[in-house]
């Protein structure tokens, strides 16, 4: 029988047993949909994470207190207080010829406290002490007012610049500039309001309160050390040279012997980007491999139901053989039936996985995350390829069994 005739016969059988055909497909639909969905979600999450890091800029360098190896984070990332960085380290980096590519640098000191304006309050507000160069480093733009000056920082001025969300919550649309707020027990005058920035490097910049660094250290926190240092260089191509220069300057500043490890960690934004890409790629494909296990379950389901179908169609097989059908014809019939089931299941699974992924991306965007909807051709090829292979592998045994049946035995079967 020609292939066209076999396909027509198979289609007739599948339509006659719609429920059984659907149940046969269900495992593959779930498996293929899961693979497409997980790879798509992984790609969307990866784009969000990388965009967050990339938004810092390829010319940004960070210094954290505490030692770490080249691949691991320093202890400060886990909330452990390390006191190895101080204000003089920032001055040394700005004035040493080995780090001449640094055009702006600032120490950071972070704390939390109750923020109050009249009868409105935020119980656990985040305030960050920074230097006057902060807008140049973080590319901060102001909606109104101004940023504080180096003289105000040195003079322990009690002035603040509010993030847009903090301003909205406290002042509810009114102009905050010139008003007074309290952070903890201290009163501050609002001199500026930042434009909306969103989440940058996993921190919501709009919920921030920025105050002079010395004010934060000496009045609010009572310490001399820094939470971190950030610096911007004049040329992204000079990042490696600058990183090495920072290490040399700080090792000398901290009086570390040649056999002592660094008591600080220097990282560039581009390094974090590369590391995060590797981590998210590995996680994405690991999750996809787990989802692909459901394809194996779907393949077993195909084999079981096709074996039942062979048993139910003994007489049909016997009649076809009696009128001249060859073993190859019977084998082709059941293999083509399996391929059609796999193909339809693949289409439904891809559409279902893509639809759910699109809904997740839409919800994430509605919540303010820069989540990209990505369905890569690779995920579709992998899902369909693995699904087709499993369909053939698990469909071959029932088809082979049907092809080997003796026509006399099948015609006598009740």
For residues 345 and 207, state if they share a domain: no
Express each pLDDT in 46-58 by its tens digit. 777 666 655 566 6
For residues 237 and 328, state if they share a domain: no
Count of CB atoms within 10 A of residue 323's CB?
8
For residues 110 and 241, state if they share a domain: yes
The confidence score (pLDDT) of residue 407 equals 59
Domain boundary among 220, 242, 262: 262
The confidence score (pLDDT) of residue 102 equals 93
Domain boundary among 236, 262, 288: 262
Count of CB atoms within 10 A of residue 319's CB?
14
Q: Are 110 and 134 contacting, i.e. CB atoms less than 8 angstroms apart?
A: no
The confidence score (pLDDT) of residue 170 equals 92
Residue 200 lies in a domain: yes
For residues 298 and 257, state if they share a domain: no
For residues 224 and 330, state if they share a domain: no
For residues 88 and 30, state if they share a domain: no
CB neighbour burial string for 330-341, b if at least 16 within 10 angstroms, e if fewer: bbbbbbbbbbbb
Residue 66 lies in a domain: no
Residue 201 lies in a domain: yes
Residue 22 lies in a domain: yes
For residues 7 and 90, state if they share a domain: no
The confidence score (pLDDT) of residue 386 equals 72
Those residues whose C-beta lies under 8 Å from the C-beta of residue 355, and which sit 6 or more positions away, are: none
**C-alpha dihedral, 50 to 54 to 60 to 62, nearest 10°:** -20
The confidence score (pLDDT) of residue 15 equals 64
For residues 283 and 333, state if they share a domain: yes
Residue 269 lies in a domain: no
The dihedrals phi and psi of 317, each to the nearest 5 degrees, come to -65, -45
For residues 250 and 144, state if they share a domain: yes
Residue 62 lies in a domain: no
For residues 26 and 120, state if they share a domain: no
Residue 234 lies in a domain: yes
Token readout for 407 is 């026509």
For residues 281 and 255, state if they share a domain: no
pLDDT tens track, the chain, 414 positions: 555 655 665 566 666 566 767 777 777 788 788 878 877 887 777 777 666 655 566 688 889 888 765 555 555 554 556 778 999 999 999 999 999 999 999 999 999 889 999 889 888 888 999 999 999 898 888 999 999 999 999 999 999 999 998 999 999 988 999 999 999 899 999 999 999 887 665 567 788 899 999 999 999 999 889 999 999 998 878 888 999 999 999 999 999 888 888 888 888 876 666 666 666 677 767 776 776 676 677 677 777 766 666 666 656 666 666 666 677 776 777 777 777 777 788 888 888 888 988 898 888 877 766 677 877 777 777 777 776 777 677 667 666 766 666 655 555 544
Sign of CA dihedral 207, 210, 213, 216: negative
What whole-number distance in Å separates Cα of residue 58 and Cα of residue 229? 16
Q: Are 226 and 111 contacting, i.e. CB atoms less than 8 angstroms apart?
A: no
The confidence score (pLDDT) of residue 68 equals 66
Residue 318 lies in a domain: yes
Domain boundary among 238, 262, 286: 262
Q: Tell the burial category of 139 from Cβ atoms under 10 Å away from its Cβ (0-12, 13-18, 19+).
A: middle
Q: Could you tell me where the beta strands, DSSP code E, fall in 18-119?
A: 60-65, 102-117
SS3 (DSSP) at 132: coil
For residues 172 and 238, state if they share a domain: yes
What whole-number distance in Å separates Cα of residue 26 and Cα of residue 15? 16
Q: Are 413 and 341 contacting, i.e. CB atoms less than 8 angstroms apart?
A: no
Q: Which domain holds residue 26?
A: 3-53+274-412
What whole-number distance in Å separates Cα of residue 26 and Cα of residue 164? 49
What whole-number distance in Å separates Cα of residue 100 and Cα of residue 384? 55
Helices (H) and strands (E) in the chain, counts: 13, 12
Those residues whose C-beta lies under 8 Å from the C-beta of residue 285, and which sit 6 or more positions away, are: 39, 42
What whole-number distance in Å separates Cα of residue 338 and Cα of residue 396? 9
Number of domains in the chain: 2
Token readout for 337 is 């039936």
CA angle 100, 106, 108 (to 5 degrees): 150
- For β-strands 199-200 and 102-117, DSSP reports them as unpaired
């Amino acid at each position: 029988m020609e292939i066209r005739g076999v396909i027509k016969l198979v289609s007739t059988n599948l339509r006659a047993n719609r429920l059984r055909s659907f149940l046969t497909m269900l495992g593959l639909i779930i498996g293929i949909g899961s693979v497409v969905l997980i790879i798509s979600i992984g790609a969307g999450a990866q784009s969000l994470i990388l965009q967050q890091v990339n938004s810092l800029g390829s010319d940004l360098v960070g210094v954290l207190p505490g030692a770490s190896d080249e691949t691991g984070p320093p202890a400060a990332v886990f909330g452990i207080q390390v006191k190895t960085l101080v204000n003089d380290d920032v001055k040394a980096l700005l004035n040493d010829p080995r780090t001449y590519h640094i055009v702006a640098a600032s120490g950071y000191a972070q704390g939390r406290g109750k923020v109050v304006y009249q009868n409105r309050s935020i119980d656990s507000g985040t305030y960050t002490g920074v230097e006057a160069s902060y807008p140049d480093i973080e590319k901060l733009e102001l909606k109104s007012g101004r940023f504080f000056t180096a003289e105000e920082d040195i003079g322990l001025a009690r002035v603040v610049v509010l993030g847009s969300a903090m301003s909205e919550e406290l002042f509810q649309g009114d102009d905050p500039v010139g008003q007074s707020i309290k952070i903890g027990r201290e009163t501050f005058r609002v001199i500026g309001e930042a434009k909306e920035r969103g989440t940058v490097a996993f921190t919501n910049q709009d919920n921030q309160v920025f105050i002079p660094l010395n004010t934060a250290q000496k009045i609010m926190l009572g310490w001399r050390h820094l939470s971190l240092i950030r610096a911007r260089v004049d040329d992204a191509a000079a990042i490696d040279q600058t990183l090495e220069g920072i290490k040399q300057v700080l090792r000398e500043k901290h009086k570390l012997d040649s056999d002592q490890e660094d008591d600080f960690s220097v990282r560039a934004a581009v390094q974090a980007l590369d590391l995060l890409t590797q981590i998210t790629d590995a996680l994405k494909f690991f999750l996809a491999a787990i989802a692909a296990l459901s394809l194996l379950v779907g393949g077993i389901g195909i084999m079981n139901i096709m074996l039942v179908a062979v048993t139910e169609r003994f007489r049909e097989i016997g009649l076809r053989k009696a009128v001249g059908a060859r073993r190859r014809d019977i084998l082709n019939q059941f293999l083509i039936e399996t391929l059609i089931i796999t193909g339809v299941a693949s289409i439904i699974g891809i559409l279902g996985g893509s639809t759910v992924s699109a809904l997740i991306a839409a919800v994430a965007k509605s919540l303010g995350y820069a989540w990209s909807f990505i369905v890569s051709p690779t995920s579709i090829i992998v899902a369909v390829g693995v699904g087709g292979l499993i369909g053939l592998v698990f469909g071959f045994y029932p088809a082979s069994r049907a092809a080997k049946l003796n026509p006399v035995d099948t015609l006598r079967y009740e």
